[in-house]
Amino acid sequence: MTDKMKPYDLEERTFEFARDCRIIMSKLPKTIANIEDGKQLIRSSGSVGANYIEANEKLGDKDFSFRLKIARKEAKESAYWLKLLKSSNNNLELEIDKVLKEAEELRKILSAILKKY
């Protein structure tokens, strides 16, 4: 996530989050741990936005809630993989911290939506 103002549109924001995770992965050394943890991060970060989009195309109230819960779970999982990557890649600590903060913010936003729903 750049230092510019974050998009209000949550679909765009989740897209930028997944993109930023991919940018970080492209900068990491190609160790076995980075590759395996990175695969998990790529999947979970992309799933946040994909499930949010599906929630917006809801088939009913239960589907909406279910998809948002999955998106929230995937944001939390992304934070986990980012923390693991950060622990073994000190050279990218600041960049990872920015994306990690965004994962936590997305999780909180999705939780707030679920509470209001």
Domain edges within the chain: 10-116
CA distance 26 to 107: 24
pLDDT band at 5 (very low <50, low <70, confident <90, very high): low
Q: Which CATH architecture has domain 10-116?
A: Up-down Bundle (1.20)
Is the pLDDT at 2 greater than 70? The verdict is no
pLDDT digits (tens, 9 = 90+) for 34-48: 999 999 999 999 999
Which tokens go with 86? 């950060």
Q: Transcribe 50-69 into DSSP letters.
A: HHHHHHHT-SSHHHHHHHHH
Residue 7: DSSP 8-state? P
pLDDT band at 59 (very low <50, low <70, confident <90, very high): confident
Is the pLDDT at 115 greater than 90? The verdict is yes
CA distance 82 to 68: 21
Yes or no: say if 16 and 29 are a contact pair by the CB < 8 Å rule.
no
pLDDT band at 8 (very low <50, low <70, confident <90, very high): confident
CA distance 69 to 73: 6
- CA Rg, the chain, in Å? 14
The amino acid present at 54, given as its one-letter code, is: E
Q: How far is CA 24 from CA 17, 54, 84, 87, 108, in A?
A: 11, 26, 13, 14, 22
pTM score, two decimals?
Answer: 0.90
